Structure 1
């Protein structure tokens, strides 16, 4: 099952498509949600791979309308569109609800518990290092 974009996700994306330099505070005022909500949602979109850069460059090939019709590159993002997600370990498609590995301010999307376990084993040193750096930056 793909992640469904809701009205907050689409409002954030469309706001950034108008001006990629907007702050989270500017966007939150524009779309009437809290700044932490904008930041959290943006981070999720970034971790999913839909937002490729802070500028944001969208991979519209990952978007499709409810009936599988791909989005044309010059069209607006709409509520209910789906984002195709690939597993961050095996790179296979995630057809069901993703298994999410969270550490520091990062989310990794995995297709199954096996990939989640293997990802943690393979990258445990990096995960620990990033988590430690994140904790130190919050002090």
Structure 2
């Protein structure tokens, strides 16, 4: 008998399409089924061959080449998506998680549970901690 995905299978796939980095727990909360159900369904989807891999989608607009060759050459329309070569001469253009301004130097990092947030300055980091204090405390207690 052929495999036919149900609503749960489809919800798991749609959740992973939005963000393939989600944990089984995050997906289970989102689609309102247990974590073991999500894990078992995911493994079944992999075993039947429907899910081949969970792959990163690279935002080339966030990369900037430090050498004289410019990133636009890499992003040219003549190149296929697998022809992109990311080198050590590139830097990642980051934005502050609070003010959305550019992070021009070494970012100020705030670690919350298993997440990291990046800020342009200590003021933004402090304001973020103050603004989301309740959520941060709740996440840190779950560790």
TM bin, normalised by shorter chain, reads 0.5 to 0.7
Q: Deviations over 1:2-28 (max 9, x none)?
A: xxxxxxxxxxxxxxxxxx9xxxxxxxx
- Taking only aligned residues, the RMSD between alpha carbons, in angstroms, comes to 1.9
For 1:99, the equivalent position in structure 2 comes to 108
The two structures have a TM-score, normalised by structure 1, of 0.53
Q: Could you say which structure has the larger radius of gyration?
A: 2
For 2:37, the equivalent position in structure 1 comes to none
1: CA distance, partners of 2:104 / 2:87:
21
1: CA distance, partners of 2:130 / 2:136:
10
Any unmatched runs of 5+ in structure 1?
Answer: 1-19, 21-53
Q: What SS does the aligned partner of 2:130 have?
A: helix
Q: Deviations over 1:59-95 (max 9, x none)?
A: 1101121137224254121123100000000000011
For 2:136, the equivalent position in structure 1 comes to 127
The worse-fitting range, judged by mean Cα deviation, of 67-76 and 77-86 is: 67-76
Offset of 1:112 from its aligned partner?
Answer: 0.6
- How many residues matched? 82
Any unmatched runs of 5+ in structure 2?
Answer: 1-19, 21-53, 76-80
Offset of 1:119 from its aligned partner?
Answer: 0.3
